[in-house]
Structure 1
């Protein structure tokens, strides 16, 4: 039910109830007033009638011969008396002998006077038995009357009859009914006027409510382009209109702000997703580069280990060469002493020459082996140099990828820089080793040439042993030369031993550095994998955020701003 209809019905109900209540109250009040007035009039009429009887008929009331007398006048059927009093008062008038009407203006239904009828029991009990005056409504010959009954007493004070005046209640009922009809007519007119007024009031009340309802429905449908309400009124409807205007404005601003925020969130989530994808790709590349670095470091450790073992073998060979050179030097000194002793020692010299030939062959073999080992060490050094260059290149690539990663790759850049430094140190150490190996190779070449000369001399000495006497001088000279050369070889061998020890220590440092590089690379690789997992989680979160922002924009798109 609409509010306008409710207001009209409410006004109508109030007016109807008010009119009915007023009519009922007015009817009751008027009836009560009429009854009171009629009783006062009847009281006065009783007195007036009694005075008229006293003036017209003197004497006391008495019953004689079964008849009612006033003085000497018989009252039974004395109609002119009651008619005169009725005419004077406008009432019904009756004189009772005891409880029976003997003179009356009251008529029966057939139009004849109700002489001989009796009074009601209630009236008889009050008036005849108690001797009291009865005032009120009474039934008089089947008709309601506002009546007044007064006892008629004889000279002895005995009640011998009743003096009655009364007015039919139908007169009062018609007056009350007529008044109530006027009240109802007034009520109906008031109801019609009230309905019209209620309609106007309802329209006055409902019009702004209808406008507010329309705006509320449009806002509920998402249309925020509504025109502001007229808020010039100073009552609650004006306050409601201002509140609705403020609500729509605040809601429009809120939706606009949420829409802008949703667009920013969508844009930021897309940018974040793109950034995380790039970061993930960079991290994967960094991980691959670090894995290459770790693999190269492992290879470097293995190569350094091989180089250490080779250098250790070289050192042992050089020590053997030195020992052999010392032995050869001692043998050469013995040979010189034997040569100086003369020809007697020729046979011993031949034996010594044979021994020298064997020693020289052994020395030549050792020197050649030293040359071979030196070449192997050179190859190892080349391998180490290549590994160092490869490590340096990998470190450079890792640094480049770390710089691409920005702030997230700073840790990788530090590790790559340390790896690069280690590679440079390895390259420098390998260069030093290469220089040492080159020196060893040069000395070994000289030793080989010297040993070739010694072998030739031994052969010449063996061939010329028969001419020992003549060749002692040459043999002695040759022995001295051999002794000098062997001393040089011994010194070179000792120097090579010291250098090989340095190379061994350097290779050990390279192994330590390579192991540290491998461990650091593994740590960096593990960290890269963890970071890659975190970046993937961030990417998933950014995609979820983008979807939520898209859904928010779809929901906000339902509003018209």
Structure 2
């Protein structure tokens, strides 16, 4: 088969009327091609550098252009990165400047809200804020964008340090006034005031209860002293209240203090106070005047420091504004410069990119003129050949690789055209064989197995042989299946008839058992009557003898009928088992058919592969192989259906055998019960004979006889139930036999769809035939 496949060409058919060159022998063509290949290698070694040089030149131009673009793009990214870094640094510097100004405002807030009662804590807080401010200014100095900004920051730091020194002096002044080690001038003034008031009360002999009133100038000794003291105390209270703003009315307070002191001294001189007490009051008044003067001087000094601080603040605030303005101006200048540099880099990058594109385009144009044009000519020639124009040629005459390729392609076309003439004749013969094979396959697909495919000396020969082998073997197997199915149908019919006969016999036996049961019930009633009526024992005993004999006869008949029924059921079970064996033989035949279908499917698949390898000329063979494959799949599907039917028959047969076994077991039980009932009847008869001779013993034994009668009734009822169950089992067996007959008919109908060949045509030997059927299968077919 493979030798025939090699002779078929895969070339497409030649257009009618086209002249073809003479074919060249395979050996000569191979030798010519080998020489051409050798010379082609040598020429490629000599001229191969031309195309490689062109490609290398284009590659170098593209690489240089891309490298240029990459360098310019890197420069542009570097400029943008520097711009982003400087912008971030400027933003960070501006933020630090804002934070420094906020710290300065916080220090001003602490300075303005400086309370006398917690002045030490407030001064410490101001010192912490100032240290933070100076630290931030140091950070600004380190990150200054240029020298001019750095100098501005350094001058601002100097002003801040001067402000910090003034704040320290201002705090020390107020510390002396409010929280000195000896209590401060405020405490000294309060103590001197209290001491003066106490001495005045002591001088005027004031009571302890009026001590608070003395503080208000309400003395009892002298109304003038009290009034003067009240005016002096008002001046002291005014000083304590307006201590932070004492500079506003410092002169008025000094003048009022001198006037109040002279008035108090004058009032004391005329009050008539003793010299000792007058001297102590004057000393206390001198201390009040001294402390008052010192307090005014200290407050004036603190206020002068505060004025200096205000002047310093007026210098620092504009310095902050100038610094921020200078930074903003520098930032705008730097931003403009960077934007200009980025714009220049962008323009340069665009120019480089356009120049690189122009260079690459020129290189590609040069490459296209030298490479793409010959490739286009070769491609056009290939397209024309694909459309059937075998006169097309490339016509390339250049000395480079593409020219050699075009000339080699032209020589290849000349050689291929020469081989098309041979392929056309082979394809014609192959088409005729394929058409005949398709017609035969179409008939076989219609289940006509009597068709014989003609065998020819070409690639279709092995397929025709395989199809003929498949038809012969399938016809044999289906003939055997038909015979077995007919035998199975006959056996099923006979089994059904015997099952009907057994069912009728069981029905009659059931009626007999029912009659026997009724008679046993009558006998039991009679025995009970004997127990009650001992005087009528003789007549009842005779009647009981007759009844017992009839019952014994019925029981014997029932036992014999059940034995016959058991034999019939055993025979039926054997036949059903033989039917199962026949079904197994059918399964073996179906397996053989399935193996043949698998082999046919494999041959069809092999033919499809060969047709695919043959190309266009094997397309018809591929169609035939596909039809054969579908036929094999159809045969395999039919064998699957037959196998399913056989499996169902085997299952029904197995169920029937089980049912028969159960019926046999129940019949055996019924036979034992009938034998036991016969034995009981025999005993009853002997008892009845004794009864007739011994009338006196009837009364004593009547109760025992009644119990025996009840046992007989129970046995009769058991026999009746066994007969009913036997009838039910026989009915089930009849249904299963009917189903078996239906399955056999279905099998015959399924096999009858195939049209088989005549027996004499099946007798001949065939290539690749399967082994002969077994003797059992032949006997089944003959039956």
Who wins on radius of gyration, i.e. which is larger?
1
Q: TM-score, normalised by structure 1?
A: 0.44
Larger helix proportion of the pair: 2
